[in-house]
Amino acid sequence: MPELPEVETIRRDLSAVLVGRRIEGVTLRRSDILRRTTPEEAAERLTGREVTGARRRGKNLIIDLSGDRVLLVNLGMTGQLYVRAADAEAAEHTHLTAVLSDGRRLFYRDVRRFGHLELCAGDELAESFTLRNVGVDAMSEELTPRRLAELLDGRTAPIKNALLNQSLVAGLGNIYASEVLYRARIDPRAGCDELGWARIEVLHGAMRAVLGEAIAAEGTTISDYVTGSGVPGGFQRRLRVYGREGEVCRAADCEQVIERIVQCGRCTFLCPGCQTR
């Protein structure tokens, strides 16, 4: 489940090995992973280009290429993007392999195929399939507590659902939404319109803190996620509520048991003692 910290880790790893390298050749094994891009366009717009940068917006990777072209990557649930040595074989479910100018290989692999790739021109980013509905990045300086309050204003949906809505704040998925609300001591069922200004400020701070710590730990590996160098993250050891149903809350003065509820068809974990409406 690559959420913001996982994608940021992949971005940093890939930035170090990809920038300045040229893509010598591309093998596409499945074309249904492409959006608004034909297989011919994919090969033509990648081959011979130099990687000039790697950016991120929410859970999306933006790989800048020479000639004002951009490769957009959304990893969905099980997507992986990593660089291996020249002699590395493509693992099962590898949908695209790119040979780099230093001989190494970039692999795009996705077991469940919820992810996708898109190629577009640099000035088409805002209208691209991948980014057209993506809101302000959760770690961006633009996301002030005031901006967050404006985004939540007038909404009746539970705060957990709003945090998962990428068109509002981009970057949180099911794991970090639960973790952030626990840190902010807010019940995930609380309506956006029930939160006062003070709690929104706390929520904003919790979002920065949890995501920042998760980035420092190189993300959370539950099953499929690997960093850009192909190794697991470390934040799974630091999760406070996600996946801890039935276990005792880790807060010092709390003896409550973590609960699991279903919201919007997704499981949510919370501490009934620490989190309130």
Partner DNA sequence: AGTAGGACCTGGTGGC
Partner DNA sequence: TGCCACCAGGTCCTAC
Active site residues per annotation:
2-3, 59, 266
Confirm or reject binding of residue 233 to DNA (CB under 7 A): no
* Amino acid letter, 276: T
x-or-dash pattern for DNA, window 129-158, by CB under 7 A? xx--x--------------------xxxxx
Confirm or reject binding of residue 1 to DNA (CB under 7 A): yes
Confirm or reject binding of residue 118 to DNA (CB under 7 A): no
Confirm or reject binding of residue 92 to DNA (CB under 7 A): yes
Cα separation, 109 vs 106, in Å, equals: 10
Cα separation, 7 vs 92, in Å, equals: 22
Q: Segment near DNA (CB under 7 A), from 19-27, 141-149, 225-233, 263-271? A: 263-271
Among 43, 48, 50, 76, contact with DNA (rule: CB under 7 A): 76
Identity of the residue, 86 or 91, whose beta carbon is nearer to DNA in the bound complex: 91
x-or-dash pattern for DNA, window 185-214, by CB under 7 A? -------x----------------------
* The token pair that represents 226 in the structure block: 């690997």
Among 13, 23, 37, 58, contact with DNA (rule: CB under 7 A): 58
Shortest spacing between CB 206 and DNA, in angstroms: 18
Distances (CA, A) of 18 to 98, 155, 234, 251: 11, 42, 24, 42
Confirm or reject binding of residue 264 to DNA (CB under 7 A): yes
Confirm or reject binding of residue 77 to DNA (CB under 7 A): yes
Distances (CA, A) of 72 to 5, 124, 182, 245, 249: 17, 11, 32, 36, 39
Q: Segment near DNA (CB under 7 A), from 106-114, 138-146, 181-189, 207-215? A: 106-114
Confirm or reject binding of residue 114 to DNA (CB under 7 A): yes
Binding site residues, DNA, CB under 7 A:
1, 3, 58-60, 74, 76-78, 92-93, 111-114, 129-130, 133, 154-158, 161-162, 164, 166, 173-175, 192, 264-267
